[in-house]
Chain A
Amino acid sequence: MTLLRLAWRNVMRQRRRTALLSLVVVYVTVATLFLFGFLDGYGESLVDAYAGYVEAPVVVAKEAWWEDPDPENGLMALPSLPEPFTPRLSLYALLRSPYRSEGGVVLGVDPDGERRLSRVPAKVKEGRWLSGPGEVVLGHRLAERLDVRLGERLVLETGKAALGLSVVGIVRSGVSNVDFAGVYLHLEDARRLAGQGILATHLAVWAPRGREEATALALNALLPQGLRAKGVWDLMGPIRADYEGSRLFYIPLMGLFMLLAAVAVVSTTYVSVRERLREFAVGESLGLTPLRLAVGVALEAALASGVGLVLGLLLGYALLAYTATHDVFGPLMRLSVELLPESGLSEHLYTAVRPVYALYAFLVVAFSGLLAWLFPGRLVLGLDLPRYLKGE
C-alpha cells in the first residue's frame, strides 16, 4: 500500500509529464472503444439486415439448392419444423416494363407468413403489401429504374412462363438488396413461373436474435437427409467475408497501436527514471529493496496510464453512447449502399456498446506496467548504489 502511495505521489509530482502520458492513453482508449463499437455495430447491422429483410434468421433448403439455387432443386413437399416458418420460392426472371428490361431474382412469398417473419411488409411506403396472386411489390430504387408506378403492370418472364403482374406496393426499407433489387410476388404466381410442381425453393425459419446459429444446428439434427439449415451468418455471402476481413485487419492493427502507446508511456517513464536514479539510490539506502523500487516504477507507469484509461473510457463510452443512438454514419452508409447496391448493407449504422471494450482498452495499462517493469525497472534493479550516493 505504501509503495502504491509512493508511486501515486511520484505521478502527481510530475503533472505535466503525467498529463502527456495520459493523453496518449486517452487517445488509444477512445480509438479502441470506438473501433470495436463500430465493428460490432457494423456486424449487428448486417445481421439485422439479413435476418429481417434480405434472408431470414435461419433458412432450410435442399443440399442441392444450396449448391445450385435453381428452382429445379426446390422442394416438392414441405417438411414440418418445430420453429415457425414460411415457404419462399426464389427464381431468376426477366423484368420488363415498356422502357426497360432487366434480370433479377424474384421471391415468391406467402403474404401472411411473410408478415410474421420478415420486416419487409412493414416497410411498404406506397400502396400496400401483397394480398393475392396477380400482384407484385417492388423495392423503390428498382421501380425507379424500371420506371413502373403503383397500379401499373410489370412483366415477369422465366424460361418456363411469363406473367403480367400489377404493382401494388413500393418498399423503402433502407436495406440495399431490398430497395435496389426486391421483387415480391405471391407464392402461387412464383410456382406458375417456376413450373415443374415446385412448392418452394427454401423455408425461412424464425429464431430468436442471437440464437440463429444454435437454431440452425438444432434443426440440422432433426431434418431429414438431403435438407440443411443455415443460420444468418452463413447466408450473408461475400459481405460476411468483408466484415471478417475488416476484423482480421483492424484487430491486430489496434493491438499494435496499443503496444506503441504502451511503448510511449514506458519510454517517458524510462527518461524519468534515469533523471531520478539518485532519488532511487536514496530510497534503497533507506531500506527499500531494488525489487520493490522496480515494482514502484511499474506502478508509476500503470497509474499514469490508468489515469488516461479512466478519462479515455469516459470519453469513449460517451462517444459510443451517442453514435449508438444517433444515425451519425447514415450519410456514409448511404454512400456505401449506392456503391454496393447488392451487398445487403443498411442505410443506417449504430455502434455497439459493450463493457468488454473496457477490458480491451485496459491492455494498454497492463502493457505499460509490464514494459515499465522490464525496461526502466531494470535500471533500478541494476543500480550502483555507492556511485549514486556519492553523486557521481
Chain B
Amino acid sequence: MKRALALVVILALVLTQSPLAKLKAALDRLRGPAHQGVYLVQVERPGSTKSYRLRVYTDGERAQIRVLEPKGEAGQAYLSLGQDLYLYDPRLGRTLRLPPTGRTERFLGSDLTYQDLMGRDLEDLFEVSEADGVLVLTPKPQAATPYGRVEVYLKEGLIERVRYHDQRGQAVRELLLLGYQRLDGAFLPKVMEVRDLLKEGYRTRVEIVEVKVGPVPERCFNPLYLERGC
C-alpha cells in the first residue's frame, strides 16, 4: 500500500513537473553522471569521412576532452568550466582561454559545437513551454541565440531529438540521441548524431564506447593540467 502510494506521488510529481523542470532533468541525463570515457567522433562530408578518438572526463557540469587520434591532432585538449572554455594546442605548447563565443563554434570542424558536448544553453537562453509532449523553446528577449525555435522531443524523460529552427520556421539542424546506456542508476547517451539540415551529407556521429562511472579527479578540471593530462 505504501509503495503504491509512493508511486502515485512520484507519478503526480512527474506529471506536474513544469516544462523547464522537465528540460533540466532531461539535460542532466544527457550530460550523464560523473564519468571518464572514450568517445568516437565520425565527421561525414559528401565524399569523405574523418574519425576522431577522444578521451572525456566530466562531472556532468564540467568537462575535459582530449584528442587521442588522429595522430596529427592528438594532444589537443579542451576544458569547459561553465562559461569558460580553455584550449591546449600541443603545436603552440600553450593553453589559451577562448571567449564565450567559442562555445558555439564548430568542434574539430564537425557539426558539433562545444555547446552540444558540454553546455546547457538550452535552459539559459530559452523560455520553455510544452505542446503535445514536445518541449518548445523560444528565445528570451535579446537572448544570444540565432535560432527562432528549438523543439526538444522527450521519451520517458530522456531527450530523443533536438530540432533547431531558424527564425523563418525552417528546421536547420538536428541532434539525435540514438539510445542511452544505464549506468549505476544514471543515464548516458550511447550514440549521438548531429545533422546539418541545410547541407546534404553533412553529419557527425558520436559514439560513447568506453565508460567508467565514478568521481573524476579535481585536477582534470584545472587548466594547468590540460597540457600534461590528468
Residues on A close to B: CB < 8 A? Answer: 94, 96-99, 101, 134, 149, 152-159, 161-165
Quote the shortest CB–CB distance from B169 to chain A (angstroms): 11
Contact with A along B126-150 (1 / 0, CB 8 A): 0000000000000101111111100
Given contacts A98-B167, A99-B198, A164-B139, contact A157 B145 (CB under 8 A): no
Quote the shortest CB–CB distance from A37 to chain B (angstroms): 48
Closest Cβ neighbor of A156 among chain B residues: B144
Q: Are A153 and B99 in contact (CB under 8 A)?
A: no
Given contacts A98-B164, A98-B166, A134-B141, contact A154 B101 (CB under 8 A): no
For the complex, count residues of B whose C-beta is within 8 A of A.
21
A selection of 24 A-B contacts at a CB cut-off of 8 Å is A94-B101, A96-B146, A98-B147, A98-B172, A101-B105, A134-B142, A149-B168, A152-B167, A153-B146, A153-B167, A155-B144, A155-B146, A157-B100, A157-B101, A157-B144, A158-B99, A158-B101, A159-B101, A162-B101, A163-B142, A163-B144, A164-B139, A164-B142, A164-B145
Residues on B close to A: CB < 8 A? Answer: 99-101, 104-105, 139, 141-148, 164, 166-168, 172-173, 198
Chain A residues near B198 (CB-CB < 8 A): 99
Among B104, B143, B164, B173, point to the contact of A164 (Cβ < 8 A).
Answer: B143
Closest Cβ neighbor of B106 among chain A residues: A101
> Roughly how many angstroms separate A250 CA and B105 CA in the complex, as a whole number?
48
Given contacts A98-B147, A99-B166, A152-B167, contact A159 B100 (CB under 8 A): yes
> Roughly how many angstroms separate A318 CA and B211 CA in the complex, as a whole number?
83
Chain A residues near B143 (CB-CB < 8 A): 164
Interface Cβ pair total, 8 Å cutoff: 58
Closest Cβ neighbor of A151 among chain B residues: B167
Chain A residues near B147 (CB-CB < 8 A): 98
Chain B residues near A157 (CB-CB < 8 A): 99-101, 104, 144
> Roughly how many angstroms separate A21 CA and B139 CA in the complex, as a whole number?
77
> Roughly how many angstroms separate A154 CA and B144 CA in the complex, as a whole number?
8
Q: Are B146 and A162 in contact (CB under 8 A)?
A: no
Chain A residues near B172 (CB-CB < 8 A): 98-99
Among A97, A158, A159, point to the contact of B146 (Cβ < 8 A).
Answer: A97
Chain B residues near A97 (CB-CB < 8 A): 146, 166
Closest Cβ neighbor of B125 among chain A residues: A164
Given contacts A154-B146, A155-B145, contact A96 B104 (CB under 8 A): yes
> Roughly how many angstroms separate A358 CA and B142 CA in the complex, as a whole number?
60
> Roughly how many angstroms separate A156 CA and B100 CA in the complex, as a whole number?
11
